[in-house]
Structure 1
């Protein structure tokens, strides 16, 4: 696994490179955000260890820019800020996991191993098509026929999840885990709010495609020709 370490503290940066190299990982290290973006886009890593509190461009902005530029690497954010709202903000920016400082090396290694085991199926798809709707993963663009559909980062990730398994019912809990990286709703109805946003944007153009509510369970995306699928993804 190729790991990019982004950490402004020189001692911690050197420790991480030594420790991870000793575990057999290939490591590069940079001290600030601009260098991180350049390194990750020039030679994409498998994983980015990203300090939340970088000087200048902070870790959140680096994370957003990496995702915007199509970097698919797992992102593990390291920070002394470990309140719930801080974790939620990092996950919404595109991070896959969050680890508070100071941390135990064994836990860091376990989290790296877990991220390395995540299935790349959806990320590996270049484009998804359902009815007249096309989603380009690489360009992070969505079109309904010839018309572009402007989506936020979270709206795009939610739509990608639903389109990857048309007809499959996704529980709200499953959506929270896959899109927000949370097991509990940080708001009382955040999934419903984002489903409503997607519906409004997708129904602004004509076509037989829709997001259906499965009462008491969750949501599924269908076109008129899409057969229902099961079992439920819990």
Structure 2
């Protein structure tokens, strides 16, 4: 499981990274809120450990922005602030859990694994999501927020393959087979037409279909202000 550790104290970063890696986690680190938000958008971890007192954007600002963009990565706040008011403020901002420094490493690991179990359960639940875009697993219907998205069967097939792996490239050849099964008379370039029409329907919605030349397509949450 990949964790994102957002902490600007070098000694804390070194100690936590070593301890968590020994417990079987892959740990990526950054030291400020702007970089943390960028990684949550584009390199989504399984879970983030977020300190409140970090430079450029503080932890609460990162939390507010991430949740307003539909980023659902579980976030545990790690902070020296132990007051009830700070804890409530963090949870109201969208944190999944809160642990005040100094904390016991066994307790931290237990809380991380509890959130990952919950995340795994959600992944097997009723919806897949990428930012504001969601797909109901049972019906196959897509929604932008609470509004149904009108799609052709081919657009639906393409989007279903992409939302299963948000932020990851899916090869054009694989998508062609999924969108045009057993249709040998269809030219390969037809997949580009379906992608073009789907991209127009998603324009301005906060989520984009991106073309990666030589690789295929991916679905991603738009950067702020895009």
CA distance in 1, matches of 2:142, 2:33: 29
CA distance in 2, matches of 1:52, 1:86: 10
On the 8 A contact 2:128/2:135 being kept in 1, the answer is no
On the 8 A contact 2:34/2:56 being kept in 1, the answer is no
Secondary structure in 2 matching 1:53: coil
Secondary structure in 2 matching 1:98: strand
Shift of 1:105: 0.7
CA distance in 2, matches of 1:84, 1:5: 23
CA distance in 2, matches of 1:3, 1:71: 15
On the 8 A contact 2:127/2:135 being kept in 1, the answer is no
| Alignment: residue pair count | 138
What is the Cα-based RMSD across aligned positions, in Å? Answer: 2.4
Q: TM-score, normalising length from structure 2?
A: 0.55
Shift of 1:71: 2.1
Aligned to 2:8: 8
Provide closer, same or farther for how the CA distance between residues 31 and 112 of structure 1 changes in structure 2, counting only shifts above 3 A. same
On the 8 A contact 1:135/1:142 being kept in 2, the answer is no
CA distance in 1, matches of 2:41, 2:75: 14
List alignment gaps of at least 5 residues for structure 2. 150-226
Deviations, residues 12-34 of structure 1 (Å, cap 9, x unaligned): 01111111111111110000000
List alignment gaps of at least 5 residues for structure 1. 129-133, 146-234
Q: TM-score, normalising length from structure 1?
A: 0.54
Shift of 1:6: 0.1
CA distance in 1, matches of 2:6, 2:142: 31
Shift of 1:144: 9.3
